[in-house]
């Protein structure tokens, strides 16, 4: 019934164990767990994957040549045997009832093809931060997509489809993919936080915010083409997305520092905010981020408010 799809590349064994255990312990039992390794070099990662596959007959484990997340996910979609696909990221984990709740929702709502959930956010060490507050119905999601991605990628479940992640997108591939699914078949997010998202210091979003910004701009260009009934030209959209205003490089740098802050590295984030402020003393955004860091660091009860 369900294929759980997880891509792995050098994920620490402790995080991997937590992610895999959260799927093995699901109350919904009718699933295959497809784990694709994207060229890991860490021996602990590979050893953990092999041990888990030997213990759990529902795990299908495949070693792949390194090709990046987008192609690895598409390989998984080709191999998947389930009627629906459930994503799971290797450094996050799911609540035991997550799959059961999402399957039930899709069964009850035949017109919806994509179902995510709200999530608890966590520091890199696993300590909780706060739950997300994502839009829940198709109309609210379609409106939110113009501002950013209203889904937690690892929490998504969608019906088996011919659609694939666009391999031209080396990051933020889920934003474009989920937008296309939402336009084609409707989408929803469950209100309950059934997933746990970790702000991992080594994640793409912590290192490649400028590239993510470009991909987001391209996804919006492609969505405009769909809305107008025009042909979607991915290459042209990515080329157009190269054009950015003067504030974009600063915004991208600050976004990467935000991720460090949320991951729990307060000292490094504070230094980085200060360095950017010295480089851009005339930018109100840089002043505001440093002020937010000061409140976040010194007033723990106000931390969630700082990011709302």
Angle subtended by helix axes 13-24 and 43-55, to nearest 10 = 20
Per-domain residue ranges for the chain?
Answer: 2-203, 248-302
- Residue 243: per-residue pLDDT: 78
CA dist list (Å): 208 to 147, 215, 256, 260, 270: 19, 11, 7, 12, 19
Q: At 139, which helix (H) or strand (E)?
A: helix 138-145
- Residue 209: per-residue pLDDT: 87
* pTM of the predicted structure, to 2 decimals: 0.95
- 80's CB contacts (< 8 A; 6+ apart) are 3, 5, 32, 34, 160
- Residue 200: per-residue pLDDT: 87
DSSP letter at 111 equals: T
Q: Which two tokens stand for residue 251?
A: 């915004």
- Residue 299: per-residue pLDDT: 96
Q: pLDDT for 88-135, tens place per residue?
A: 999 999 999 999 999 999 999 999 999 999 999 999 999 999 999 999
Q: pLDDT for 268-284, tens place per residue?
A: 999 999 999 999 999 99
| pLDDT < 70 stretches in the chain | 203-207
CA dist list (Å): 6 to 32, 94, 156: 11, 12, 12
Give the torsion through C-alpha atoms of 172, 201, 116, 2, to 10 deg. 90
Contact 171, 204 (CB under 8 A): yes
Class of the CATH-defined domain 2-203: alpha beta
- Residue 55: per-residue pLDDT: 95
- Residue 95: per-residue pLDDT: 98
Specify which residues 59 forms β-bridges with. Answer: 33
- Residue 247: per-residue pLDDT: 76
Residue 240: closest CA among 251, 256, 225: 225
- Residue 291: per-residue pLDDT: 96
């Amino acid at each position: 019934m369900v294929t759980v799809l997880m891509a792995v590349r050098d994920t620490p064994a402790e995080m991997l164990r937590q992610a895999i255990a959260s799927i093995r312990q699901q109350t919904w039992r009718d699933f295959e767990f497809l784990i694709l390794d994207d060229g890991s070099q860490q021996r602990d990662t590979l050893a953990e994957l092999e041990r888990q596959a030997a213990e759990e007959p529902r795990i299908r484990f495949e070693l792949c040549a390194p090709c990046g997340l987008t192609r690895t996910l598409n390989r998984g979609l080709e191999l998947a045997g389930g009627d629906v696909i459930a994503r799971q990221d290797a450094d996050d984990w799911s609540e035991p009832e997550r799959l059961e709740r999402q399957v039930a929702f899709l069964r009850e709502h035949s017109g919806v093809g994509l179902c995510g959930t709200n999530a608890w956010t966590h520091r890199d060490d696993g300590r909780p931060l706060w739950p997300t507050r994502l839009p829940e119905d198709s109309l609210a999601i379609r409106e939110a997509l113009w501002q950013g991605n209203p889904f937690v990628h690892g929490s998504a479940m969608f019906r088996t489809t011919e659609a694939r992640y666009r391999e031209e997108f080396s990051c933020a591939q889920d934003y474009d993919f989920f937008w296309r699914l939402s336009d084609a078949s409707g989408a929803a997010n469950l209100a309950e936080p059934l997933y746990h998202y970790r702000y991992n210091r080594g994640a793409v979003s912590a290192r490649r915010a400028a590239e993510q910004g470009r991909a987001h701009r391209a996804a919006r260009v492609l969505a405009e083409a769909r809305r107008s009934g025009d042909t979607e030209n991915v290459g042209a959209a990515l080329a157009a997305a190269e054009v950015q205003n003067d504030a974009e490089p600063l915004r991208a740098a600050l976004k990467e520092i935000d991720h460090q802050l949320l991951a729990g590295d307060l000292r490094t984030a504070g230094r980085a905010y200060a360095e950017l402020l010295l480089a851009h003393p005339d930018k109100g955004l840089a002043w505001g981020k440093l002020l937010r860091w000061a409140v976040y660091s010194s007033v723990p009860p106000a931390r969630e408010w700082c990011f709302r």
